[in-house]
């Protein structure tokens, strides 16, 4: 995307002489939009169907800044909930994953990750701006839904700006065509005010419909959710708390009756474009790989772990992203156990099954891994095989007649069982390569679909905003306001779902502390691109160095006490292109 930097701000230069759009039913946000080939720009925007198709570009850009993407990785790996260690020759990649984990990204940006985040956010902004300016320039009456379409693109643009503000702080705020050499950064507080103003102006024109027709599209409730997130963090961005406004936005979603918590936590994330009643905005997934592909689980599990999900051996799993004890320690691993038997190639195998008290703990694979079909072993918190008396192990390339239930790894002909550990004593291979290949617990909340295509692409939709987070935001805002009974009710609503309706794990008023609130958000929202700002917010509000403190697994020293790592550096390549841009403090 480096070739965009000379025109990224000048949105009118995005207007091509012709527009090429390929739209698939699985990928588009309106499943009934027609397929278009090449049309002259004037003709393309001439009717509502084409206008609906023209809005696909900004939504596609949203898929580029969530999940296993440059922006998504930066949000997660710089927090305490994700690490991509160097496993032998795998995942070194010039040291880019280490720089994220150790908060050592530099303006020189040798691997391009920081500029990828800069360009990813501004690319989304520019696509939204192009559509907005195009719609505003159409002859009167061309778009019968003009106000709604502009409001939709304006709200979507705000998501890109919000992500940019989380990563870079002060950032160029441009909602019109401008000479790119004259762009300067806008202070965080001013960006916040501009986003708030534009979102509030858009709300009356945004749809309140929540059904197949608005699946994957910005609605009024998306704007409420984004404003709630902004207001919860407002004291960090502007120096003024807006907790009461956060509560109001959350009320607007909860009281609408349009959404409900799923009884099963994993039903928010499973299935090909599963239309969960809990999700407020998603990025629809595609197994074709032509649009957004949810690759987070694939990036995490060891490749033989695919056998757990009924996916043929060795065409899935990259053995990368992990969580370690620094984060996994917050999960409740208390369980109940049962047993059963099964026949495996003439052998009677006795299994020990575990059911976690807290459903959410099942999003992590830990311990010995076993074969499954991806159907009968869903959801992963219930009756999950954790031990048996079968022989070890099924390795890559083994014939099915030799298969056992226990999964093994044959890396460099060094056969070892696939056992995931929550400790990771080092960032790179050391004295025990077999152990280190499996160090770190692996997140599978986006449950892989059995029988994935050979490319391994998952079609799970990515949740951008969902009701579980809304309850937690309202609970935290009420906590800061001192409305403790109201805060307690919201946290316990989420916890009761997590504990399958049980009230035995409800919090008491004494449990409402910043530490516990941050941990609860970690359990509920792990790997959903919110942990970085959650840690920074709590550090700013309490003085406890949640984001900058040292970590143990793998070891990481505390950051400089000036807190400059709250923001990424402005890439040197961007400053060289536009000398008006100023470097962030500390770099």
Alpha helices by DSSP H, 13-145: 41-44, 48-54, 56-63, 70-77, 96-101, 113-136
Contact 307, 372 (CB under 8 A): yes
Q: Among the listed ranges 515-519, 533-537, 574-578, which one has the minimum average pLDDT value? A: 574-578
SS (H, E, C) 395-453: CCCCCHHHCCCEEEECHHHCCEECEEECCCCCCECCCCHHHHHCECEEECCCCCCCCCC
The predicted structure's pLDDT at residue 271? 80
Task: Give residue-wise pLDDT tens across range 484-494.
Answer: 999 999 999 99
The predicted structure's pLDDT at residue 2? 33
Contact 131, 58 (CB under 8 A): yes
Q: How far apart are CA 370 and CA 352, in angstroms?
A: 11
pLDDT over 70 at 35, yes or no: no
pTM reported for the whole predicted model: 0.92
Place of tokens 């009420």: 478
Task: Give residue-wise pLDDT tens across range 67-109.
Answer: 888 999 999 999 999 999 998 888 999 999 999 999 999 999 9
The predicted structure's pLDDT at residue 290? 63
Task: Give residue-wise pLDDT tens across range 251-264.
Answer: 999 999 999 999 99
pLDDT over 80 at 42, yes or no: no
The arithmetic mean of pLDDT across residues 461-471, rounded, is 97
**How much of the chain, in percent, has pLDDT values that exceed 70?**
88
Confidence class for position 463, pLDDT limits 50, 70, 90 = very high
The arithmetic mean of pLDDT across residues 135-155, rounded, is 95
pLDDT over 90 at 237, yes or no: yes
Q: How far apart are CA 522 and CA 536, in angstroms?
A: 13
The predicted structure's pLDDT at residue 11? 35
Domains and CATH numbers, the chain: 1-187+561-587 (1.25.40.390), 296-453 (no CATH)
Q: Among the listed ranges 224-233, 321-330, 414-423, 428-437, which one has the minimum average pLDDT value? A: 428-437
**How much of the chain, in percent, has pLDDT values that exceed 90?**
74
Which position has the higher pLDDT, 47 or 265?
265
Terminal-to-terminal C-alpha distance of the chain: 24
Residue from 284, 275, 295, 320 nearest 448 by CA? 295
Q: How far apart are CA 156 and CA 222, in angstroms?
A: 9
Mean predicted lDDT score pLDDT of the chain? 89
Contact 117, 167 (CB under 8 A): yes
Task: Give residue-wise pLDDT tens across range 171-215.
Answer: 999 887 667 677 899 999 999 999 999 999 999 999 999 999 999
Cis peptide before 450 (omega within 30 of 0): no
The predicted structure's pLDDT at residue 126? 93
Q: How far apart are CA 2 and CA 109, in angstroms?
A: 13
Confidence class for position 17, pLDDT limits 50, 70, 90 = very low
Q: How far apart are CA 270 and CA 378, in angstroms?
A: 10
C-alpha angle with apex 377: 372 to 380, nearest 5 degrees?
A: 120
The predicted structure's pLDDT at residue 29? 31
Residue 452 makes CB contacts below 8 A (sequence gap 6+) with: 287, 311, 316, 458
């Amino acid at each position: 995307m480096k070739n965009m930097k000379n025109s990224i701000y000048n949105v009118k230069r995005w207007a091509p002489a012709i527009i090429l759009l390929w739209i698939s039913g699985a990928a588009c946000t309106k499943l009934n939009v027609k397929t278009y080939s090449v049309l002259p720009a004037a003709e393309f925007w001439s009717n509502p169907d084409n206008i609906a198709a023209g809005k696909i570009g900004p939504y596609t850009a949203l898929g580029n800044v969530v999940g296993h993407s440059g922006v998504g990785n930066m949000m997660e790996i710089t927090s305490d909930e994700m690490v991509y260690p160097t496993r032998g020759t795998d995942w070194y990649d010039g040291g880019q994953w280490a720089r994220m984990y150790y908060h050592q990204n530099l303006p020189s940006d040798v691997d391009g990750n920081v500029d990828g985040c800069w360009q990813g956010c501004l690319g989304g902004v520019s696509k939204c701006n192009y559509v907005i300016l195009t719609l505003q320039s159409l002859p009167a009456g061309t778009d019968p839904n003009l106000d709604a379409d502009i409001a939709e693109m304006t709200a979507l643009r705000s998501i890109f700006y919000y992500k940019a503000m989380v990563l870079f702080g002060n950032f160029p705020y441009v909602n019109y065509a401008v000479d790119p050499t004259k762009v300067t950064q806008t202070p965080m507080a001013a960006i916040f005010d501009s986003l708030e103003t534009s979102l509030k102006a858009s709300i009356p024109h945004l749809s309140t419909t929540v059904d197949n027709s608005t699946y994957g599209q910005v609605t009024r409730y998306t704007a409420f959710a984004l404003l709630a997130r902004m207001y919860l963090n407002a004291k960090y961005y502007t120096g003024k708390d807006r907790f009461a406004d956060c509560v109001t936005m959350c009320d607007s979603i909860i009281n609408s009756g349009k959404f409900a918590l799923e009884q099963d936590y994993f039903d928010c994330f499973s299935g090909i474009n599963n239309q969960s009643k809990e999700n407020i905005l998603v990025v629809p997934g595609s197994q074709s790989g032509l649009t957004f592909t949810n690759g987070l689980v694939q990036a995490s599990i060891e490749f033989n772990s695919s056998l757990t999900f009924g996916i043929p051996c060795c065409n899935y799993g990259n053995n990368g992203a992990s969580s370690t004890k620094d984060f996994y320690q917050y999960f409740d691993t208390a369980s109940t156990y049962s047993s059963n038997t099964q026949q495996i190639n003439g052998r009677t195998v006795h299994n020990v099954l575990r059911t976690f008290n807290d459903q959410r703990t099942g999003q992590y694979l830990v311990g010995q891994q076993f074969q499954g079909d991806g159907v009968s072993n869903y959801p992963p918190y219930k009756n999950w095989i954790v031990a048996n008396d079968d022989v070890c192990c099924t390795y890559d390339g083994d014939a099915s007649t030799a298969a056992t239930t226990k999964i093994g790894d044959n890396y460099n002909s060094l056969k070892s069982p696939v056992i995931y550990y929550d400790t990771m004593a080092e960032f790179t291979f050391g004295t025990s390569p077999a152990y280190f290949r499996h160090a770190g617990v692996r997140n599978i909340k986006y449950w892989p679909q059995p029988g994935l295509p050979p490319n391994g692409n998952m079609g799970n939709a990515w949740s951008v905003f969902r009701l579980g987070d809304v309850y937690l935001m309202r609970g935290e805002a009420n906590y800061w306001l001192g409305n403790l009974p109201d805060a307690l009710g919201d946290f316990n609503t989420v916890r009761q779902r997590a504990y399958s309706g049980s009230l035995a794990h409800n919090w008491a008023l004494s449990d409402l502390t910043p530490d516990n609130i941050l941990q609860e958000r970690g359990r509920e929202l792990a790997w959903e691109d919110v942990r970085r700002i959650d840690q920074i917010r709590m550090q700013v509000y309490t003085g406890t160095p949640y984001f900058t403190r040292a970590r143990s697994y793998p070891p990481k020293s505390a950051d400089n006490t000036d807190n400059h790592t709250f923001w990424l550096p402005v890439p040197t390549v961007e400053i060289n292109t536009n000398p008006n841009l100023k470097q962030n403090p500390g770099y």
